[in-house]
Amino acid sequence: MAFEAPLPLDGIRVLDCSRVYAGPIASMLLGDLGADIWKLEPPNGDETRGWGPSWGDPVDRRSAYFASVNRNKRSLVVNLKTDAGRALLDRLAATCDILLHNYQPSVAAQLGLDADRLRSVHPHLVLATIGGFPGDGDAGERPAYDLVAQAFSGLMSVTGEPFGGPMKVGVALLDLTAGLQAAIGALAGLIARERGRPGLGASVSLIESGVASLTNVLGHHLATGEEPRRWGTGHPDIVPYQVFAARDGHVVVAVGNDAQFERLLAVLELEPDPRLADNEGRLAGRDELVPQLAVRIGEWSRDELVAALTQADVPAGPVNSVSEALAAMEAAHDGAWVQEADGVRLAPAPIRVDGRRLPLRNPPPPFGAHTNEILREAGLDIGEIAALRAAGVIG
């Protein structure tokens, strides 16, 4: 169903000075909800424009990586390393509600993006920032990509097979969590401003977001003092809760309570054992129970077992390939899950508002495609735009 009413953030304008991944994830979420995102890029563009294969004309510099987190935005190019560029930044910021960036503090100061200056010049502006490492001084200056954050935060130490080496998650998970948290912080700032508390800023670091994302693993460590370890696909506190090999693929079985375990045994035609009737017993008997389940599960085909467990109300599912997962989404939405614009095919925003899918209003923008358009909306006239371009301030 098309979204005909105004989107939730319709009328909100965001000056997005971030690049790479966590910041663009935050601004994309705000754009999905209806905010007008001005993606301010340096003269060489967002680094991810060159990461991986391109969609369409290479001149547009829209790599698949870039496209995945830059829908519903417009791009302008401004050189903030010039005095005129920083003056232009202020003219743009004066018309915006949120400013987002993920530069290191010293670089932000050089580009006119330091928090104290922005708050003094633009008290109406909600500032949302994403850093690498937490802390002030040298600590806050340390850059961090997602891989560094996954390692430093401890996430890699609990990811992978028990006797293997540390492993990263297959996607940039901590970029994603930090981006989500920055977007939430920005929205909180907007609400605070509407309630008469201007100047509220929100900041998050990849590392701190990563440590906080350990949730139950960190909670276990805080409660017991024990060092968490890798469990592969298993779970330290729940059994059975892991991947099993079927005849022709893999399935996950996620038993969360004793009644589900009884139904699992019934499907697999295994006799109940009183010692394993509750989760405490199953934890103690993990080494005996899991091999028994593995043998019986290995006799089933993947899809037949998933169907039988689903029918019995036992949480389970296939370990899908990416193409299988995509096909499942298409099937669930009558073949209309992937969105396409300007030749670029993208996953949609997963949030639904009033039961309706959020629209793809703008494809990932070609590099600098909206510079003139945005500057005119910010109040610059044709002569001013021409002079800035002649001086190399804008692209």
Cβ atoms within 10 A of the Cβ of 316, count? 22
Answer for the pair 92, 125: CB distance below 8 angstroms, yes or no.
no
Provide CB contacts within 8 A for 286, sequence distance 6+. Answer: 239
Taking every pair of Cα atoms in the chain, the longest distance, rounded to a whole number of angstroms, is 84
Contacts 24+ apart (CB under 8 A), 384-391: 388/84, 388/88, 391/82, 391/84
DSSP H or E stretch at residue 107: helix 105-110
Cis before residue 240, ω within 30 degrees of 0? yes
SS3 label, residue 177:
helix
Answer for the pair 203, 129: CB distance below 8 angstroms, yes or no.
yes
Answer for the pair 298, 292: CB distance below 8 angstroms, yes or no.
no
CA distances 99 to 116, 183, 367, Å, are: 13, 11, 20
d(CA 47, CA 24): 12
d(CA 117, CA 100): 14
334 is a catalytic site residue: no
Answer for the pair 99, 126: CB distance below 8 angstroms, yes or no.
yes
Buried/exposed code over 237-250 (b: 16+ C-beta within 10 A; e: otherwise): eebbbbebebeebe
What letter would DSSP give residue 231?
Answer: -
DSSP H or E stretch at residue 38: strand 36-41
The burial class, CB within 10 Å (0-12 / 13-18 / 19+), for 41 is buried
CA dihedral angle for residue 288, residue 291, residue 296, residue 300, rounded to 10 degrees: 150
Q: What does the block give as tokens for 287? A: 């080494």
- Which one is catalytic: 16, 36, 146, 175? 175
d(CA 249, CA 318): 8
Radius of gyration, CA atoms only, the chain: 25
Residues catalogued as catalytic: 175
